[in-house]
Structure 1
Amino acid sequence: MIGTIKGRCIATGKLLPTLAVGAAGGGIAYAFDIPLPWLLGALIATTVLSLGGVRLRAPTTSRKAVLVVIGVMLGAAFTPDMTGDVALWGTSLVLMLLATAVMMAFSVWFGRRVAGYSMATAMYSGVPGGVSAVTLMAADSEADLRVVGLTHAVRILVLLVAIPPALDLVGHVSLQSRRLTLDEWLAVPGFGDALLLVGAGIIGMWLGRRLHLPNPLLFGPVLLSGALHVSGVTEAAIPPTIVALAQIIIGVSVGVRFGGTSLATVGTNLMMAVLQAVALLLITIVAAWLVNALTGYSTAALLLAYMPGGAPELSLVALSLGIDPAFVTSHHLLRISVLVLLLPALLRIAMRRMHNA
């Protein structure tokens, strides 16, 4: 027991420099009124240092805890007075799956024909989302895990950096962070509400694992917290300080993935990953505009809901900017669930066709 506590303290101490870099980057971005300051500031700072050869420790336990916190935060978006049209949401979810099929088909074609990857590598690196589950599944195949990991990391990086200009392009979205007073930064829920939020996180995490949800640490708390908030049991929200810390940890989690990456050795794969990410972003923008024309729903919400990957990151962006986080989270949950269920069968079909050809 003492050894475990000591080990965790040591691991936390080693993580502090990474968090300090992320906090400094976020603070600078916040001071200069950059959109999504804590997330993008931390991401850019750690990415630059990682590519420059600086070894930064990746968050592990803290990232897991943050996923639970984000899940509880996102659940708070499901309020009793939600005005979301169920039929409209259903239409958008179906169209999102169609857009996902287009993205998946393009990614596999691009990986095979342009990048020259094996079918398994092209399939797993091309999945628009679910990086944790996809990486675990890829480990049981003949896929090149370095290419899979690099492609997903670059895609999330490109998407997060592209969000401010993309949202500015669709218009009608305020990207400026509201300045909070000290009292607002230090605000905390009452004891009863805090107990409910903590319970939603802990029990939701267990529920997510029992239900075998994709990314159970995120979506289990979303379901339980959402049930508590939509039923009116509580209206409590996560304090702004914890929201900012969550953004910092998510930002550095993406940035440190480039640690140990030599641009000389992965230059081609890096370029392929960037090209694929940009192409998928363009498909997303077109799909969001088309669905907006069909349904009249917010293009900004559709854009975040349809973006290929990074459910925790994109849901947190929706929450931070107040862009219909319940709508965005629901779309990412459905997409990841469908992809995780269908991916093994899709790979088998693709491999069979290759052998027959």
Structure 2
Amino acid sequence: MLSSLRRLLPALALGLAGGTLAFALHLPLPWLLGAMLATTAASLAGVELHSPARSRQGVLVVIGVMLGSAFTPDISGALGRWSLSLAIMLVATAAMMVFSVWFSRRIAGYSPDTALYAGVPGGVSLVTMMAAGTGADLRVIGITHAVRIMVLLVAIPPVLQAIGHVDLGNATPDPARWLMLPGPADTGWLIAAGVGGAWLGRRLRLPNALLFGPALASATLHLTGVTEAAIPPVLVALAQVLIGVSIGVRFAGTSLALVGRAMLMAVAQALVLLVIAIVTAWVGHLLTGYSAAAALLAYMPGGAPELSLVALTLGIDPAFVTTHHLLRISLLALLLPLLLKQKAAA
């Protein structure tokens, strides 16, 4: 374990440095974007960085507990009213997947297997696991999903500013609140939600069990009023750094010259998907009255931990956003094997 920590330290130090610089420059989402951009640049420059695989698992549990705390008793009646928005999200997801697979096959020229897995709008862990046993190009799939998440995260601040539904300037907590800690009893409930939720998520075979298991356990505790505790902001910042690092190091071992075309194709695809998400979010806002910012984060294709964390950090209805991503990933987990069987039969 100590050796794994030593290997992670350079990437973590670089991520913290990038986050600190972005924070000092008053950039939006500083800890996430700063860490992501710093480690991505280093990876593409040939610096050997190791993935925080085990640390990311712990971070997913923490994020899950944080997301569950957004499900307060006040919103219990809102769950049923989200049905129209959830339906709009599913239509948008279908449109995104049809376009992505078509683009990957016809424009990028990838094989049918690679095009299918690269075109799935989300669930990168599930997609990579399923693609490993096929003839798909795992490098192209990894680059496509990593670049998509990176493009979406970089685009979030300017897009949110443009639609005018959120003030990013108020997203950073007051320095006096950074180390605010819950009391012993509340801390115990949060730990129980994390540990018990992770076990339950795996037991129920939930998609992204380490994220959604703790989220469901924490949501149950908060909806029933057992606890109102929230995760300290300093842990939120650290979670952002580790998520940013985990994205950036996905480009380790690659060179810009070697994978330039794949990255170019991935950027072009991600930009079109972003436009689809923006248009659909605005339509959803007009039809349902929900915040366009919340709809945008809910409808964006993939990166459930990243986008849910952004919603939590910016205070953009994280319960609404998390529910949409849970439904999307659950349906993808159920439907993707059926799509693969149909492709194999054809």
Residue in structure 2 matched with residue 4 of structure 1 by the alignment: none
Partner of 1:278: 271
Q: Secondary structure at the match of 1:82?
A: helix
Q: CA deviation at 1:183?
A: 3.7
**Per the alignment, do residues 42 and 311 of structure 1 end up closer, same or farther by CA in structure 2, a change over 3 Å counting?**
same
Aligned mates of 2:293, 2:338 — CA distance in 1: 33
Report what 2:341 is aligned to. 348
How far apart are 1:265 and its partner, in Å? 1.6
Distance (Å, rounded) in 1 between the aligned partners of 2:261 and 2:7: 32
1:1-357 to 2 correspondence within 5 Å?
8-82=1-75, 85-178=78-171, 180-353=173-346
Residues 171, 313 of structure 2: 8 Å contact kept: no
- Residue aligned with 2:75, SS: coil
Give the distance between the partners of 1:83 and 1:200, measured in 2 at CA: 19
1:237-293 alpha-carbon deviations (Å, 9 max, x no partner): 001111100000000000111111112121111111111111100110111111111
Question: In the TM superposition, what whole-angstrom CA distance separates every residue of 1:55-109 from its partner, at most 9, and x where no partner exists?
Answer: 1111011100000000000000000112763443011111111110000100111
CA distance in 1, matches of 2:162, 2:156: 10
Q: Which residue type is aligned with residue 301 of structure 1?
A: A
Query: Which runs of 5 or more structure 1 residues have no equivalent in the other structure?
Result: 1-7
Tell me the distance in 1 between the aligned counterparts of 2:73 and 2:103: 44
The letter of the residue matching 1:96 is M
CA 1:111–1:178 in 2, change beyond 3 Å: closer, same or farther?
Answer: closer
| C-alpha separation in 1, matches of 2:9 and 2:161 | 34
> Helix, strand or coil for the counterpart of 2:73?
coil
Contact 1:119 1:351 in 2 (8 A): no
Is the contact between residue 157 and residue 168 of structure 2 (CA under 8 Å) also seen in structure 1?
Answer: yes
Contact 2:15 2:241 in 1 (8 A): yes
Three-state SS of the structure 1 residue aligned to 2:136 is coil
Partner deviation per Cα, 1:149-184 (whole Å, 9 max, x = no partner)? 110000001000010011112112111255545541
CA distance in structure 2 between the partners assigned to 1:200 and 1:218 by the alignment: 11
Structure 1 Cα separation of the partners of residues 329 and 172 of structure 2: 35
Distance 1:334 1:138 in 2: 22
Confirm or deny: 8 A CA contact 1:36 1:177 kept in the other structure.
no
Quick one: structure 1 residues 177 and 17, their matched pair in 2 at CA, closer, same or farther if it must change by over 3 Å? farther
What is the rounded CA distance, in whole Å, between the counterparts of 2:256 and 2:173 in structure 1? 40
How has the CA–CA distance of structure 1 residues 138 and 351 changed in structure 2, closer, same or farther, with 3 Å as cutoff? same
Assess if the C-alpha contact under 8 Å between 2:108 and 2:265 holds in 1: yes
Larger deviation, residues 178-187 vs 30-39: 178-187
> C-alpha deviations, 1:285-328, integer Å up to 9, x for none?
11111111111111000000000010000000000000000000
TM-score (norm 2): 0.97
Question: Which 5+ residue runs of structure 2 have no aligned equivalent?
Answer: none
Question: Aligned pair in 2 of structure 1 residues 157, 84: CA closer, same or farther (>3 Å)?
Answer: farther
- Determine if contact 1:188/1:239 at 8 Å carries over to the other structure: yes
C-alpha distance in 1 between matches for 2:94 and 2:27: 34
| C-alpha distance in 2 between matches for 1:177 and 1:265 | 41
Residue aligned with 1:261, SS: coil
Deviation at 1:37, TM superposition (A): 0.6
State how many pairs are aligned: 346
Q: Distance in 2 between matches of 1:218 and 1:36?
A: 21
CA distance in 2, matches of 1:189, 1:224: 18
244-253 vs 288-297, greater mean Cα deviation: 288-297
1:18 shift after superposition: 1.1
